[in-house]
Amino acid sequence: MVSIFDSSITASTFADDAIAQLFSDRAEIRAMIRVESELALVQANLGIIPTGMGSKISQALESIDVDPAQLAAGYAKDGLCVPSLVKLLAEQLPDDAGDYLHWGATSQDIVDSALLVRLKMICEILGTRIDKLIGLLRALTETHRSTVMLGRTRGQAALPTVFGLKTAGWLSPLVRQKQRLKELLPRLLVVQLGGAVGTLAPLGSQGLEVNQQLAAALDLNPSTMSWHTQRDNIVEFCNWLSVTAGAIGKIGNDLLLMAQSEVAEISFSNGGGSSTMPQKSNPVVADNLVALARYCAGEAGSMQNVLVQSHERDGSCMILESLLFPGLVCAGAASLALGIACIETVKVNESTMKDNLSATNGLVMAEAATFELSKVISKRQASQVVKEACKNAMKSGSNMIDELEKIADAEVDWQQLKQPENYLGVADQIIGEVLDSC
Q: Does 128 bind a copy of itself (CB under 8 A)?
A: no
162 pairs with which residues across the strands? 148
Q: Which helix (H) or strand (E) holds 149?
A: strand 148-153
* Least gap, CB of 175 to a copy of itself (angstroms): 10
Amino acid (one-letter) located at 297: A
CB-count exposure of residue 310 (10 Å: 0-12, 13-18, 19+): exposed
Coil vs helix vs strand at 30: helix
Segment interacting with a copy of itself, rule: CB under 8 A, options 37-45, 117-125, 411-419, 425-433: 425-433
Closest by CA position to 366, among listed 340, 348, 350, 384 = 384
Coil vs helix vs strand at 4: coil
Q: Does 202 bind a copy of itself (CB under 8 A)?
A: yes
Segment interacting with a copy of itself, rule: CB under 8 A, options 37-45, 57-65, 170-178, 408-416: 170-178
* Least gap, CB of 398 to a copy of itself (angstroms): 14
Binder of a copy of itself out of 41, 42, 86, 342 (CB under 8 A) = 86
Report the first-to-last Cα separation within the chain, whole angstroms.
Answer: 40
Q: What is the CA angle 188-230-234, rounded to 5?
A: 35
Q: Does 383 bind a copy of itself (CB under 8 A)?
A: yes
Q: Does 55 bind a copy of itself (CB under 8 A)?
A: no
Q: Which residues, 136 to 165, sit near a copy of itself by CB under 8 A?
A: 150-161, 165
Q: Which residues, 256 to 295, sit near a copy of itself by CB under 8 A?
A: 256-257, 259-263, 270, 272-284, 287-295
User: Alpha-carbon distance 145 to 219, whole Å?
Assistant: 43
Q: Does 35 bind a copy of itself (CB under 8 A)?
A: no
User: Alpha-carbon distance 131 to 377, whole Å?
Assistant: 51
Segment interacting with a copy of itself, rule: CB under 8 A, options 51-59, 122-130, 237-245, 407-415: 237-245
CB 245 within 8 Å of CB 293: yes
Binder of a copy of itself out of 46, 134, 320, 410 (CB under 8 A) = 320
Segment interacting with a copy of itself, rule: CB under 8 A, options 24-32, 38-46, 120-128, 133-141: 24-32
* Least gap, CB of 28 to a copy of itself (angstroms): 8
Q: Does 297 bind a copy of itself (CB under 8 A)?
A: yes
Q: Does 106 bind a copy of itself (CB under 8 A)?
A: yes
CB 130 within 8 Å of CB 181: yes
